[in-house]
A = this chain, B = another copy of it.
């Protein structure tokens, strides 16, 4: 007898499976008016030495600094100088333009794949600003802003995207899977979540060596469901690892909304509670809030107070990647309707409110960034675009599997070179 054929009990309620459903699907008019958004400045800022339990309320709310008038308010205001803010603003503009150009390059057949971070620029860029230059990131594919903020050359990025002769990764990685040690940017993995506990391992190593540098682990809302998230949290908790652990909750994981990762029942920041580490939930489109939260977490880590989990609440304004068309699973107008706005516009408004910015200067920066991206693109394309690659240097394909090429790879290399490719 199969289990399910056992007699049912009519005096018991029938169980049913709950399958989370996002608020809006194609055809619906998105309306976020019921979304609870705490006022900017309304959330208290605890001492660095506060116990994780004291910080629990911060995991259920939203740390916000910029109010609707572009003013910075409340205890989380990091009181940054205007130059720093302008640098962040410029970096955000630059990333957005970069994303647009590279997206287009993919559409033009110049490469195989691209992923934008549109709408989420504040998170990586501001984090880079709040960290020390030699802190180490273990990013996902949506933290290109870290590289740009740390001054990694655009041409290098583009060469990677084109897998061309200038690509230091020698055409071995999918576009945007950057790696750069000198910029504290660990090699991006195509496998979701793996980098999160790796960051904790790096932080443990830093602690073992009595170093002062910290590690930053990154993960998306969807990928928090992976076992690696739990591994990272557990090891961070047990060894008090000096790490800042960032969940970028852009509410979507390809076509699945964050409810499929558990967001209906608790915030991602709340996951921290069960590990006895503080969890902060932060408006990811508010540069000042992001800065302040990262700084708070980094300072804790540096003071041997252990890891902090930060949930950056944001919205993935465009498709998941060039392989995705989001209009198949959510209203096309949803991004526009998203109430926490655009991080660039919000910082711009703040700088204008401070009297430190205006539309003309903004437009000038935009034009400057545009020119910078175009010129980088020209330079990169001189070194080739993807469709022309993979013909030369076929023997390089067999390097770096090991430090030294073993006999089997040496034989295969000879064969590949003799044969040529199709």
Contacts and interface: CB of A to CB of B under 8 A. Distances in A.
Interface residues of A, number: 63
B212 A15 contact: yes
Contacts of A35: none
A421 interface: no
A227 interface: yes
Contacts of A207: 15-18
A74 B283 CA distance: 43
Contact of A264 (B204, B273, B276, B302): B276
A274 interface: yes
A208 B134 contact: no
A14 interface: yes
Contact of A239 (B17, B209, B306): B17
Interface string A79-120: 000000000000000000000000000000000000000000
Contacts of A418: none
Contacts of A13: 212, 302-304
Nearest to A224: B234
A384 interface: no
B237 A262 contact: yes
A234 to B, nearest CB: 5
Contacts of A17: 204, 207-208, 239-241
A340 to B, nearest CB: 22
Contacts of A259: 238
A372 B416 CA distance: 73
Interface of A: 3-4, 6, 8-9, 12-20, 52, 134, 136, 181, 204-214, 225-231, 234, 237-242, 259-262, 264-266, 270-277, 279, 302-304, 306
Given A8-B211, A8-B212, 5 more contacts: A9-B212, A17-B239, A237-B265, A266-B275, A271-B274
- In the A-B complex, the 6 residue pairs with the closest CB atoms: A227-B227, A265-B276, A12-B212, A271-B274, A230-B230, A266-B276
